[in-house]
Structure 1
Amino acid sequence: MSITNLRPNLNHWQERVDLAAAFRWTARLNMHEGVANHFSLAVNDDGTRFLMNPNQIHFSRVKASDMLEIDANDPETLSGPNAPDPTAWGLHGGLHRHCAHARCAMHVHSIHATVLASLADSRLPPIDQNCATFFNRYVIDEHYGGLAFEEEGARCAALFSDPKQKVMIMGNHGVLIIGETVAETFNRLYYFERAAETYIRALQTGQPLRILPDDVAEKTAQELEDYPEQDERHLGELKAILDEESCNYAT
């Protein structure tokens, strides 16, 4: 379903609306970090122009018209009057500059994903269907180097060399999710946090884990990857709820 462009002077209106809905729902799920963390979405063919939330606006207040349109190859980006957060430029600029298949990127410090990233062993074993979704489909960053300025952003982007791996468990930091669209990426972010919560809570029982065999975990992950339209329907339902509440996200 297309969305009426309420700001005809702004390009990529549908994409802006989808991003704004993702920000609003991430705040509702308490997966935000106040005025920190960032989502981005490429809007040109090579992925180097992208939309991103403005500097230090709370996720619960982000609107479609707020999105910055940024050129990852413009060295003057941080010197403008409406400059993005430097760490957002470092991480997302590096990602869109060096990783063309990362059309959309969502970075959060959500509680359970960050707990997982804080463990000496940050692997997510396939102990249930949600966890199996990510079997062989994440990469662990073992070399956190401080705030994600340009050098750190380029280093992180290089870790997404395998297109099959669309989740980065950022050791000592949080999680970075990539995908083709806002709907796909948000759906993946949502279910990774759910999976991490299941695993962390299972560890808390102190009981042995029931881990799926590799072949069953891979079969499950593939079946879920091929499952039709869940990501679009998920985001569509969230936007419908926001619309019913007369939320101003799409303005």
Structure 2
Amino acid sequence: MQNIHATEIETKEWALRVDLAAAFRLAVHFDWHESVGNHFSAAVSADGKKFLLNPKWKHFSEIRASDLLLLDADDPEVMNGPEAPDPTAWCIHGAVHAAVPNARVLLHCHPTYATALATLKDPTIKPIDQNTARFFNRIAIDLNFGGLADEAEEGQRIARAFGNQSVMMMGNHGVSVAADTVAEAFEDLYFLERAAKTLVLAYSTGQELNVMSDEIAEKTARSWEDFSEASFAHFDHLKTILDKTDPSYRE
């Protein structure tokens, strides 16, 4: 029975590795990557403290399931090992997985339009269409950027800044999205960048925004929740595209 249980755990972890590897490749497809930086992670233990993370300075376009590091947020020797992750990755993802066990998957990157909004004094995603309304009252806004997240205190501050939300606009920095699964986190990131693009383009006209009433914005945001299963359908479709072009992410 123990061997069967171990096999089930290994199977689930491998499936998680494949999904996370796909997310890296798809981030390149959508042009959300940035050099060899930015990081995605996924918890494998119930308490969230053991998690998968991309290796230091490996380009998103080449990451495979087998490349992902398995780290322990409670291990003080992680940064002293031969396969130590990027310090900023350990700072942010280690802190979040240690402090927020329900953040099973954490995607952090600097996509163009969402990051542009994050540089504004008010980076709020104003509800001007159904995509922007998806995030109405559902985003944490962190305006206390403390420089590159390479110190434990900054990682802990970022973890606290999430509050009760799963999406965070990181002022002067970028965005982070947390969810139960890779598919759900990726879908939020996908629509966050689309919403940000719409808002940035609307701002660029110089005309006054036609912002929805709070009542309509909330109604729209709640309606999105009825389509939560679409996250999995969309992500499966995107993986099918990857399988046709370069299935090496599954290795």
Alignment of 1:86-101 (within 5 A): 86-101=87-102
Give the CA deviation at 1:208. 1.3
Question: Any conservation in 1 of the 2:140–2:163 contact (CA below 8 Å)?
Answer: no
Q: Could you tell me how far apart the structure 2 residues matched to 1:13 and 1:42 are?
A: 12
1:168: which partner in 2? 168
Question: Any conservation in 2 of the 1:169–1:176 contact (CA below 8 Å)?
Answer: yes
Question: Any conservation in 2 of the 1:99–1:160 contact (CA below 8 Å)?
Answer: no
Residue 73 of structure 1 aligns with an amino acid whose one-letter code is D
What per-residue deviation string (whole Å, max 9, x for no partner) do you get for residues 13-68 of structure 1?
Answer: 10000001110010111110120000000011011110011101011111111000
Q: SS where residue 96 of structure 1 aligns?
A: helix
Question: Any conservation in 1 of the 2:44–2:51 contact (CA below 8 Å)?
Answer: yes
Q: Which runs of 5+ in 2 are unaligned?
A: 1-8
TM-score w.r.t. structure 1 length? 0.94
Alignment of 1:178-193 (within 5 A): 178-193=178-193
Give the CA deviation at 1:127. 0.3
1:159: which partner in 2? 161
Q: Could you tell me how far apart the structure 2 residues matched to 1:130 and 1:11 are?
A: 32
Runs of 4+ in 1 over 6 A off after TM superposition: 8-11
TM-score w.r.t. structure 2 length? 0.94
Q: Could you tell me how far apart the structure 2 residues matched to 1:210 and 1:9 are?
A: 51
The yes-or-no answer on 1:18 pairing with 2:19 is yes
2:53: which partner in 1? 52
1:221: which partner in 2? 221
Q: SS where residue 12 of structure 1 aligns?
A: helix
Alignment of 1:26-45 (within 5 A): 26-45=27-46
Q: Which runs of 5+ in 1 are unaligned?
A: 1-7
Question: Any conservation in 2 of the 1:10–1:65 contact (CA below 8 Å)?
Answer: no
Q: Could you tell me how far apart the structure 1 residues matched to 2:197 and 2:104 are?
A: 27
Question: Any conservation in 1 of the 2:105–2:185 contact (CA below 8 Å)?
Answer: yes
What per-residue deviation string (whole Å, max 9, x for no partner) do you get for residues 87-128 of structure 1?
Answer: 000000000011111111000011101100000111110001
Q: SS where residue 244 of structure 1 aligns?
A: helix
Give the CA deviation at 1:10. 8.7
Question: Any conservation in 2 of the 1:141–1:170 contact (CA below 8 Å)?
Answer: yes
CA 62–213 in structure 1, closer or farther in 2 if over 3 Å, else same: same
Question: Any conservation in 2 of the 1:102–1:178 contact (CA below 8 Å)?
Answer: yes
Q: Could you tell me how far apart the structure 1 residues matched to 2:84 and 2:104 are?
A: 21
Root-mean-square deviation over aligned CA pairs: 1.4
Q: SS where residue 169 of structure 2 aligns?
A: strand
Give the CA deviation at 1:220. 1.0
Count of paired positions: 242
